[in-house]
Amino acid sequence: MDWVRGKCLVKGSYGSVFLARPTNIISPPLAVKFALIINSFSLQKELKILFSLSGSEGVIQCYGDCLSHKNGMTIYNLLLKYAPDGSLADLINKCGGKIPECDVRRYSQMILKGLSSIHNNGYVHCDIKLANILVFLSDQQDLSQLKIADFGLAKSLMNAKEPDEEDSRKFFYQYTFQGTPMASVTSSNMEQGNSVKVDTHFRQMYRRYSHGKKKLD
């Protein structure tokens, strides 16, 4: 697929994401994560995970990867579905820092189903936060659809017992991670390398922010 890079969408702790427009005008725009080929291990791992999760409910769609060249350097590109409506953090901010309780419950169900799909396929996300949950408006439904994205820190559960959907929450308490710095429980936990509970911090953050206690940056 040929495409042209557009504006920068996100500059994160582990790389940047750009908007890309395919030269075929029929195709929708893409979100492209990129890194120099020598620094692309995390993106290549993410590609493998997303392909194994292809078709899973509540997980961002991946279209593949490709290489490009700029200023004599080889760049690795990961091609993803573009979310023009931003992240769950953006959605909460647009609602004035608070969304209805009934929507909180329904959004939580979407995210838990996505996490269940991830766990059932042998992975734990390790970096669940509002910025990594993307929003897709639906013309046929009264509520936006949410998709989990950014699997750069995901871990394999090859040696763990796979849960069924009812037991998905149990996995929140069984694994450790460090995550991106701004989403970790405390900076001291990061600096000292202390273990924190995986995929549980999202639930605390979401409950806190979605009820209007703090506006998200």
Catalytic residues: 127
Alpha-carbon Rg for the chain in angstroms: 17
Q: Which two tokens stand for residue 26?
A: 């029929």
Integer CA distances (angstroms), 47 to 16, 118, 217, in order = 16, 14, 28
Q: In this structure, what DSSP letter does residue 176 have? A: B
End-to-end CA distance of the chain: 34
Q: Say if CB 138 and CB 177 are below 8 A apart.
A: no
Which class for 51: exposed (0-12), middle (13-18), buried (19 or more C-beta within 10 A)? exposed
Integer CA distances (angstroms), 176 to 80, 149, 166, 189, 193, in order = 27, 19, 21, 11, 10
Give the CB-side neighbour count of residue 7, counting CA atoms within 13 A: 3
Q: In this structure, what DSSP letter does residue 79 have? A: E
A 10 A CB-CB count for 14 gives 15
